[in-house]
Structure 1
Amino acid sequence: MRETRTALAAWHLQHSRPECLVSYFDPWQPVARQLDLLANRFQAVKALCDADRDSLAVEDDALAQLRDSLAFHLLKACVWWQVDFAPRAVTGLSAPHFMEHAHRHTARHVDDETMLDVMTWQHYMHRADSGHIMVTGTDPLYRGSTSIVYGIDGHRGFRFAMQRPGQKLAWNDITHPDFIAASLNARALHCLIETECAAIGEWDQAREEHIQAARHHARHFHIVGQADPVARYAAALEQFSRCQSRFGRFAFENIVNHMAFAVVHAAHEQGLSLVGLLRQGEENPASSNMVDSLKRRAHAHVTTGTDPLRQTELVAMLNRVETGFALSNGR
């Protein structure tokens, strides 16, 4: 038993570090997957820490630090993408208990302590001062001689600045509610500065579609278990069909897949086939194409939107849900 725990601890210490799980400055990484990774790895590492609290082994201290780091980054990620976060619902811990872990991490890392303060109480910031900005990093994906810098201001809003070689930072006046919104606006302006590109309409469309996607991101931890999962799936699918930008299609495909997973999960929880669930409150019978597409999307969510450590269990759950056509004469 001890050998198994030691092997698990060693694996998590190598593979569950937040820098391996989340890319804050890359909007092309699925939000759902990164949140699931942080939440699941926090719970897994915490369980290892709780299993042998009396041990004085070296890896236990390292595991405790990893657990605390994951707590901080889970909180940071939810602020970064404006995701509703209730510690008890997501982690099983009360808010004060969860914050103890985050504070233990920031006590060891001064930059993260500053970040936590900016995201919460702002003791070190000029509150409500849009001109007081903490720099959070530089866009790693920009091209050209003009760099993009990001920050958070006294309104807890996300800001961006352009910096040409030899010149001062020039902060844009607009405050954004989440990092992705700031990033899309920054790249649109960067595109104009560097190339005067004709694709500015693509950026404009991406920004509008992100506004719609952000509403789903905010409810990430509520999607599974929400009422009317079929109606929510249909609404998200309809929004996806209207997306015109490459980024909008990317974001909404991930959202639709997550919604499809919620539908299959609801069927599993209620002991229904997919046809049985789809026909609740519906006058028209479900088609085989609709059910097949829904199940494919649910499987896609498991593959692209969840922690690989959970995928075997989740795929088994999906496979246990019957389509229901055998019971409905193939209709």
Structure 2
Amino acid sequence: MRETRTALAAWHLQHSRPECLVSYFDPWQPVARQLDLLASRFGAVKALCDAERDSLATEDDALAQLRDSLAFHLLRACVWWQVDFSPRAVTGLSAPKFMEHAHRHTARHVDDETMLDVMTWQHYMHRADSGHIMVTGTDPLYRGNTTIVYGIDGHRGFRFGMQRPGQPLAWNDITHPDFIAASLNARALHCLIETECAAIGEWDQAREEHIQAARHHARHFHIVGQADPVARYARALEQFSRCQSRFGRFAFENIVNHMAFAVAHAAHEQGLSLAELLHQGDGHPVSPNMVDSLKRRAHAHVTTGTDPLRQAQYVAMLNRVETGFALSGGQ
């Protein structure tokens, strides 16, 4: 047993570092997948630490530091994308216990201590001062001579600025509720500055569609198990059908897939076929194509939106859910 734990610990120390799991400055990485990775790996690493403690073994300091780092980054990611986060619901820990792990991490990393402060109490910031901005990083995907810089201000709002060679950094006046909103606005302005591009309408659409997507991101940890999963899936599918921008379609496809997984999970929990649950949802006729499409989307969510360590159990669950059509491509 101890050998197994040692092997697992070594694997996590290599593969579960936050920098391997989350890309804060790339809005093209699925939000759902990154959140699931952080939550899942925190739980797995914490379980290994707890097992060592229960066996009276000396705690592996590197593993404990990884656990604490994952706690901090799970909290940071939820603030970054404005996701509702209840430590007890997501990790099984009370808020004070969870924050102990985050604080142990920030006690060792001054930059992350500053980041935690600016996202929460702002002891080091001029509170409510939109002109006091902590730089969080630069855009890794920009092209051209103008650098995009990101920050968080005294209102805990996300900001961006532009810096041309030989010129001072100029912050944009608009405060955004989450990083993706700031990033989309930054790239729209950057596109205009660098190329005077005609694709500015694409960015405008992306910004509007992100406002809708952000409402779903906020509910990420509530999507599975929430009431009326069929109605929520239908609404998300309708929103997806109206998306005009490439970014909007990317974001909403991931959201719709997550909603489809939630429907399949509800069917599994209630012992119903997908057809039965869909019919209960709105009373409309249900076709094999509708059910097969939903199940394919649920599987797509597992593939693109969840931690690979949990995918086998999710696939097994989906395979146990019947479609309700004997000749369907599913069960």
Separation in 2, partners of 1:59, 1:196: 57
**Corresponding residue for 1:330?**
330
Separation in 2, partners of 1:55, 1:227: 41
Q: Do the aligned partners of 1:239 and 1:252 also contact (CA within 8 Å) in 2?
A: yes
**Corresponding residue for 1:10?**
10
Distance apart, 1:284 and its partner CA: 2.3
Separation in 1, partners of 2:291, 2:300: 14
Q: How many residues get paired? A: 331
Distance apart, 1:56 and its partner CA: 8.5
Separation in 1, partners of 2:228, 2:56: 49
Separation in 2, partners of 1:188, 1:328: 45
Q: Do the aligned partners of 2:78 and 2:84 also contact (CA within 8 Å) in 1?
A: yes
Separation in 2, partners of 1:275, 1:127: 53
Separation in 1, partners of 2:70, 2:137: 20
**Displaced runs of 4 or more, over 4 A:** 54-59, 327-331
Q: How does 1:127-138 map to 2 (within 5 A)?
A: 127-138=127-138
Separation in 1, partners of 2:285, 2:186: 46
**Corresponding residue for 1:41?**
41
**Corresponding residue for 2:255?**
255
Runs (5+) with no aligned partner, structure 2:
none
From the superposition, tell whether residues 276 and 54 of structure 1 become closer, same or farther in structure 2 (CA, over 3 Å): closer
From the superposition, tell whether residues 281 and 167 of structure 1 become closer, same or farther in structure 2 (CA, over 3 Å): closer
Separation in 1, partners of 2:155, 2:127: 7
Write out per-residue CA displacement over residues 39-96 of structure 1, whole angstroms, 9 at most, x where no aligned residue: 0000000000000116797871100000000000000000000000000000000000
Separation in 2, partners of 1:329, 1:300: 16
**Corresponding residue for 2:225?**
225
- In the superposition, the TM-score normalised over structure 1's length comes to 0.97
Separation in 2, partners of 1:98, 1:210: 30
Q: Secondary structure at the match of 1:202?
A: helix
Seq. identity, %:
92
Q: Do the aligned partners of 1:264 and 1:274 also contact (CA within 8 Å) in 2?
A: yes
Q: Do the aligned partners of 1:13 and 1:63 also contact (CA within 8 Å) in 2?
A: yes
Q: Do the aligned partners of 2:152 and 2:159 also contact (CA within 8 Å) in 1?
A: yes
Separation in 2, partners of 1:167, 1:56: 59
RMSD: 1.9
Separation in 1, partners of 2:228, 2:234: 10
Q: Secondary structure at the match of 1:59?
A: coil
From the superposition, tell whether residues 328 and 34 of structure 1 become closer, same or farther in structure 2 (CA, over 3 Å): closer
**Corresponding residue for 2:272?**
272
From the superposition, tell whether residues 281 and 42 of structure 1 become closer, same or farther in structure 2 (CA, over 3 Å): closer
From the superposition, tell whether residues 60 and 292 of structure 1 become closer, same or farther in structure 2 (CA, over 3 Å): same
Q: Secondary structure at the match of 1:53?
A: helix
Separation in 2, partners of 1:326, 1:16: 42
Separation in 2, partners of 1:137, 1:23: 12
From the superposition, tell whether residues 179 and 275 of structure 1 become closer, same or farther in structure 2 (CA, over 3 Å): same
**Corresponding residue for 2:174?**
174
Mean Cα deviation higher: 164-173 or 274-283: 274-283
Write out per-residue CA displacement over residues 179-214 of structure 1, whole angstroms, 9 at most, x where no aligned residue: 000000000000000000000000000000000000
Q: Do the aligned partners of 2:150 and 2:158 also contact (CA within 8 Å) in 1?
A: yes
Q: Do the aligned partners of 2:233 and 2:263 also contact (CA within 8 Å) in 1?
A: yes
**Corresponding residue for 2:25?**
25
Q: Secondary structure at the match of 2:59?
A: helix
Q: Do the aligned partners of 1:134 and 1:152 also contact (CA within 8 Å) in 2?
A: yes
Q: Secondary structure at the match of 1:161?
A: strand
Q: Do the aligned partners of 2:216 and 2:255 also contact (CA within 8 Å) in 1?
A: yes
Separation in 1, partners of 2:109, 2:57: 23
Write out per-residue CA displacement over residues 104-136 of structure 1, whole angstroms, 9 at most, x where no aligned residue: 000000000000000110000000000000000
Separation in 2, partners of 1:330, 1:203: 39
Q: Secondary structure at the match of 2:152?
A: strand
From the superposition, tell whether residues 330 and 124 of structure 1 become closer, same or farther in structure 2 (CA, over 3 Å): closer
Q: How does 1:86-235 map to 2 (within 5 A)?
A: 86-235=86-235
Q: Secondary structure at the match of 1:151?
A: strand
Separation in 2, partners of 1:254, 1:330: 21
Separation in 1, partners of 2:159, 2:261: 34
Mean Cα deviation higher: 56-65 or 114-123: 56-65
From the superposition, tell whether residues 55 and 276 of structure 1 become closer, same or farther in structure 2 (CA, over 3 Å): closer
From the superposition, tell whether residues 48 and 281 of structure 1 become closer, same or farther in structure 2 (CA, over 3 Å): closer
Q: Secondary structure at the match of 2:150?
A: strand
Distance apart, 1:283 and its partner CA: 3.0
Q: Do the aligned partners of 2:135 and 2:150 also contact (CA within 8 Å) in 1?
A: yes
Q: Do the aligned partners of 2:292 and 2:329 also contact (CA within 8 Å) in 1?
A: no
Q: Secondary structure at the match of 2:118?
A: helix
Q: Do the aligned partners of 1:206 and 1:245 also contact (CA within 8 Å) in 2?
A: yes
From the superposition, tell whether residues 121 and 286 of structure 1 become closer, same or farther in structure 2 (CA, over 3 Å): same
From the superposition, tell whether residues 199 and 60 of structure 1 become closer, same or farther in structure 2 (CA, over 3 Å): same
Q: Do the aligned partners of 2:231 and 2:281 also contact (CA within 8 Å) in 1?
A: no
Q: Do the aligned partners of 2:27 and 2:183 also contact (CA within 8 Å) in 1?
A: yes
Separation in 1, partners of 2:223, 2:139: 30
From the superposition, tell whether residues 291 and 56 of structure 1 become closer, same or farther in structure 2 (CA, over 3 Å): same
- In the superposition, the TM-score normalised over structure 2's length comes to 0.97
Separation in 1, partners of 2:54, 2:103: 22
Q: Secondary structure at the match of 1:136?
A: strand
Distance apart, 1:282 and its partner CA: 3.1
Q: Do the aligned partners of 1:9 and 1:59 also contact (CA within 8 Å) in 2?
A: no
Distance apart, 1:325 and its partner CA: 1.7
